Structures are given as structure tokens and as C-alpha cells.
Amino acid sequence: MIDFKEIISNAISNVTNISQYELKTYIEVPKESNNGDYAFPCFRLAKELKKAPQIIATDIKEKIEVNENEIIKIEVAGGYLNFFINKKLLVDEVLQEISKTEEYGKSEIGKGKNVVIDYSSPNIAKPFHIGHLRSTVIGGALYNIYKYLGYNTTGVNHLGDYGTQFGKLIEGYKLWGEEYDIEKNPIDELTKIYIRINEACKEDEQVLENCRNNFKKLENGDPYCVEIWEKFRELSLKEFQKVYDLLGSKFDSWNGEAFYSDKMPEVIDILEKTGKLIESQGAKIIDLEDKGINTPCIIEKTNGSTTYATRDLAAILYRARTYDFDKALYVTSYEQVLHFKQVFEVAKLLGLDEKYTNGLEHVSFGMVLLPTGKMSTREGNVVKLNDLLNEAISRAKEIIEQKNPQLENKDEIAKKVGIGAVIFNDLSNNRVKDEIFEWDTILNFQGETGPYIQYTYVRTKSVLEKAGQVPDIKDVKSENLLDESSIRTLKLVYSFEDILKQVTDKNEPSILSRYLIDLAKAYSNFYNENKIIVDKKDVQNARVYLTYAVGKVLKTGAELLGIEMPEKM
């Protein structure tokens, strides 16, 4: 499909001798159509060309050469160059492309590139709460989108199945295991043990020491500790799978922290050979002050047990060798910014090719907070994700019962609407923002929400049903789609692939979420301004085909976010 940004950036590059790739990233889409279809901000070139932006804009306009069949007009507005494209050409291009493929917007831009995405990663034997929702759905959306753009993508659920907390759980189970029925209700019962043992640790230093020793025994393969740990892990995974089934989450690897227990000695050995691993107060650390990081990276604790950092370094080594990654993304909360700064810096000492260390990226996100503050398993104030999702389904069903009591398959549709509302709510805002969790907000079915996008999609299906069929592309005349609301809608359809590329450039799924809202609003406006089923067949064919195009993009986009689309609501 014709790339107008490419055409514009190439023409400007010929005048300025600045890289076309760089120029293309500067091109904007104005909010108001009277400012053109694309705008180039010339202040971006002021430093390099040593001129005022308005002078640069005027100079470029005078010298630029473009095909008038593609770019019909160029205007200078302040320090901007505004480009007006041939609307009929745009309509023809979009409709032809839609007619050629079932996977509109799909690309081979990532062909031959490997991406590993580490996401979800709940802690074994702890509740799968709404704090884990963000990592699960952000990572899942990125996984889908990278794959759609042709990348060889591997999704890893790096389970929190190792660490000092298991020493605590093992000690709690030793002390009070008979009092709790962990087979029947594993997560709740293990959480009670965990809260209780934490209280005991606060009161008695010896209990805390026993917990630390339990973890050291687990690392050393003590049969009793390993047996209990395996039981906790197996029971937890069965519970987690219930949530993943509701969310539609899938992973290519479930290798958690424990998988790397036999791979850490190599990491320690490599680091020792660099001479950078030093002893400090009985622990082994890497000092990172010369890298601008004031907190050292602890590789081995005073009792000889390993840390999160050691396991993450072993994982980097393993993933580089196994997946030959170009990018390795870690989707975790911004609370772990320092941890990943340390780990990525220390990874440079592992003797890996720069390709791997340059490809490491922490995709951080804000916390999910309760109105009363931060959640804590230790304190026992968490909202379990399973409860949230089932409540969302239940509330969606209530609304369906009120609005459309005769609807068939209400349970299935309620599930799609309820889960879709939760996922979209999480992905609709910039990921780095904290999210205050409130039932009324998360399950609001009005305004800029998942259900609104689903409703718009269902409306497109209803129009197609009334029309009887999707017209053949040969019977669609683009001159019937040159009114403002049609063009606004088709310009958005045209930009779908570019939106997906922006998501992967910034690892920001909210770019796609906001786009889907814009597209749904534009179509609603088109629908309100244009009668679609009309006597004039040429006009009807064009408007029905636009409706078909919008429905296709809404469905594809929502599914890339992990949201299922109902056919009726």
C-alpha cells in the first residue's frame, strides 16, 4: 500500500540531505483537516540547518518535488509544512488493500528478528491478584502485536517459584501444615500460612533464620524441602490456569526462577573471572558506582544463597543462547527499575555479544492501587484477579439482561464483554501511570471503554446483515466516499499498520487502544451522517464496504489486545 509518510520524508530528504528514516519519524497527523493530512515540524531541523523553522519551511516548499497525483498541495503554517494528499487515491488504496487480505495491517517488518517477552510472572503460593493483571495483559498484547508484524516471538512466564518466601512457606508448613487444607483451597490456605509466618518472623529472629536456612536447603536439593516446594508449585499452577483461561493468556515457556538454579554457578564463575565480583559484609556484590548506580548488585547473600539478580542474569545467558534474541522485554512494575538497571549493567560482564545486552529492555508500568493504598500479600489486602474477572462477567450479564433480554448465548457474550472491559480498561492509559482500582471505573460500560468498541463492531455486523452481503470490490466506487466523515474514517483505517509499528517502537499498547476508540468514534459519526442502506446501489456499495473495512480493523485490533469480539450484543 502507498506510504504517504515515506513519500513526504523522501521528498524532504532530497532537499535537506537529512536521513529519510529520521525525517519520517518527525511527521505528524494534524487533528484538524484544514491543517493538512500530514504535517512536518521544521523546528526539528532548526539546529542542524541553523535557520528559523519558518524559513526552513519556506525553503523546503520552494525546492521540494512531489508527484501531484499523490500530494495535491503543500502549505507553510508557522514553522510547519502541511501536506494535503489525493483523497481519492487514499480511498482506492485502502479499499484495494482491505479486499486483498484477511489480515489487514499484517507486516513482515520483523522478519528474521527474535523477540523474547517476559510477562505475567506471578509468585507461586500467593494470590493471583489485580497487581498481576497489568503485566499479563500488557505483555500479552505486545506478544500478539510483535507476532502480527512478523517477529519470531517467544512469550515467557518467568514464575516466581524460588526465593526466600519459599523458605518461609516451608517453615510455616512444618509448624502448622496440618491446620490447613491446601489441597482443597491451595492459594487461600498458603496465603494464611504466609501471613502467619511473617508475623512469627517479626516476633522471633530465630524463626526468620530458620526460614532463610530452609531456602538454602531447597537450593541444595534437600528432599523434604524440594517435595513441599513441588507440591506448592503444582497446586498453584492449577489455580493460575483458571485465570489464564478467562483472559485467554498463552505462553511458550513456563521456565520460572527455579529453572535457573543449576545455571547460576556459571554466572558466578564468569563474574569472578572478571575481577569485578567482590566481597562486602559477607556477601558477594558487583559495585556499579562507576556506572552511576549507587546501590551495588548483590549476587550472593551472606549465607551463600542467590538473589533475584543472579537468577535474572542466568536467564539472560540462557535466553541469548536459546532464542538468539534481538530484543528481550521485561514487563514488570516500575518498582523494579533499579533492579533491572543493575542486572542489565552486570549482564555486560557476562561475555555476551553487544547485540544481546543492547536488546535488553525493561517495559515498566505503574502500580494498581486500592483507594486505600498499595496492596500487600503479607497484610492480606488484595483483590484476587479470579474474583474480579468473574464479577465483571456477572455485571456484564446483568446489563445484557436489562438491555437485550432476548439475546441468545448471553453467558458467552457476557464473558467477552466483561473480560474485554477489564482488559481494555488496563490498556487504555499510558502504561507508566498508576491505576487506582475501583469497581465502578473498571466496569463502566459507557464512554471510552472496551464495550463501546465491541458495540461499534456489532453495529458494523448488523449493517452488513441488513445489506445482505459485502459488495465485490469491483462494484465499489471511491468517489462515493469523499465526504468528510468517510475520509476521516478511512484515514484511520489506512493508518492501522503504522499504529501497530508505533506500539512496538514504544512498547506501548495504549497507542492501539486509543486508536480503536478514535476509529469507533469516527465510524459512529459516519453512521450518523450517512444513511447506508439506500436506493442508489453505487452509494450503498461504497458505504457498506467502508463499514466492512471498519469492522475488520476493529476486530483485528481488539483481538491483538486480547479482547474477543461478540457478533451480537
CATH number of the CATH domain containing 20: 3.30.1360.70
As a dihedral over the C-alpha atoms of residue 286, residue 290, residue 293, residue 297, rounded to 10 degrees, the angle is: 0
**Residue 444: its pLDDT value, please?**
65
**Residue 375: its pLDDT value, please?**
57
In total, the chain counts a number of residues equal to 569
Residue 466 and residue 338 share a domain: no
Identity of residue 47 = K
Residue 327 and residue 441 share a domain: no
CATH number of the CATH domain containing 393: 1.10.730.10
Measured in degrees and rounded to the nearest 5, phi and psi for residue 225 equal: -65, -40
In a domain, 566, yes or no: no
Q: Three cell numbers at 384?
A: 484476587
Contact 268, 310 (CB under 8 A): yes
* Nearest CA among 2, 6, 7, 9 for reference residue 89: 2
Residue 399 and residue 363 share a domain: no
Query: Which residue, 369, 404, 430, sits at the end of a domain?
Result: 369
CA distances from 419 to 133, 332, 367, 455, 458 (A): 12, 22, 20, 14, 17
Strands 327-333, 360-365: pairing is: parallel
Report DSSP state, residue 122: P
Residue 473 and residue 344 share a domain: no
This prediction has a pTM of 0.92
Count: domains in the chain:
3
Residue 393 and residue 309 share a domain: no
Q: Residue for cell digits 463501546?
A: 452
Residue 398 and residue 325 share a domain: no
In a domain, 96, yes or no: no
Task: Tell me whether residue 248 is exposed, middle or buried, using C-beta atoms within 10 angstroms of its C-beta: 0 to 12, 13 to 18, 19 or more.
Answer: middle
Residue 389 and residue 365 share a domain: no
Identity of residue 434 = D
Please spell the DSSP secondary structure of 193-217, one letter per residue. Answer: HHHHHHHHHHH-HHHHHHHHHHHHH
| C-alpha span between 524 and 244 (Å, rounded) | 33
Residue 148 and residue 283 share a domain: yes
Q: Looking at 42-113, which runs of residues are DSSP E strands?
A: 71-77, 80-85
| C-alpha span between 553 and 489 (Å, rounded) | 11
Residue 238 and residue 327 share a domain: yes
Residue 405 and residue 288 share a domain: no
| C-alpha span between 119 and 139 (Å, rounded) | 5
Which residues are catalytic, by number?
126, 129, 132
* Nearest CA among 202, 214, 205 for reference residue 169: 214
Residue 398 and residue 365 share a domain: no
Q: Residue for cell digits 555479544?
A: 353
Query: Which residue, 342, 369, 396, sits at the end of a domain?
Result: 369
Contact 375, 347 (CB under 8 A): no
CATH number of the CATH domain containing 304: 3.40.50.620
| C-alpha span between 245 and 234 (Å, rounded) | 17
CA distances from 378 to 74, 126, 177 (A): 62, 10, 18
Q: Give the structural domain span for 303.
A: 114-369
SS3 262: coil
In a domain, 342, yes or no: yes
Tens digit of each residue's pLDDT, the chain (569 residues): 899 999 999 999 999 999 999 999 999 999 888 899 999 999 999 999 999 999 999 999 999 999 999 999 999 998 999 999 999 999 999 999 999 999 999 999 999 999 999 999 998 888 888 878 999 999 999 999 999 999 999 999 999 998 788 999 999 999 999 999 988 888 889 989 999 999 999 999 999 999 999 988 988 889 999 999 999 999 999 989 999 999 999 999 999 999 998 999 999 999 999 999 999 999 999 999 999 999 999 999 988 888 899 999 999 999 999 999 999 999 999 999 999 999 999 999 999 999 999 999 999 999 877 776 665 555 556 678 888 899 899 999 998 999 889 999 999 999 999 999 999 999 998 999 887 767 676 666 667 899 999 999 999 999 999 999 999 999 999 999 999 999 999 999 999 999 999 999 999 999 999 999 999 999 999 999 999 999 999 999 999 999 999 999 999 999 999 999 999 98
| C-alpha span between 510 and 299 (Å, rounded) | 36
Residue 457 and residue 322 share a domain: no
As a dihedral over the C-alpha atoms of residue 366, residue 371, residue 377, residue 383, rounded to 10 degrees, the angle is: -90
Q: Three cell numbers at 97?
A: 488493500
CA distances from 452 to 104, 351, 449, 475 (A): 22, 51, 5, 31
In a domain, 378, yes or no: no
* Nearest CA among 265, 190, 199 for reference residue 229: 190
**Residue 377: its pLDDT value, please?**
53
Query: Which residue, 85, 104, 137, sits at the end of a domain?
Result: 85
Residue 111 CB partners (closer than 8 Å, separation 6+): 150, 151
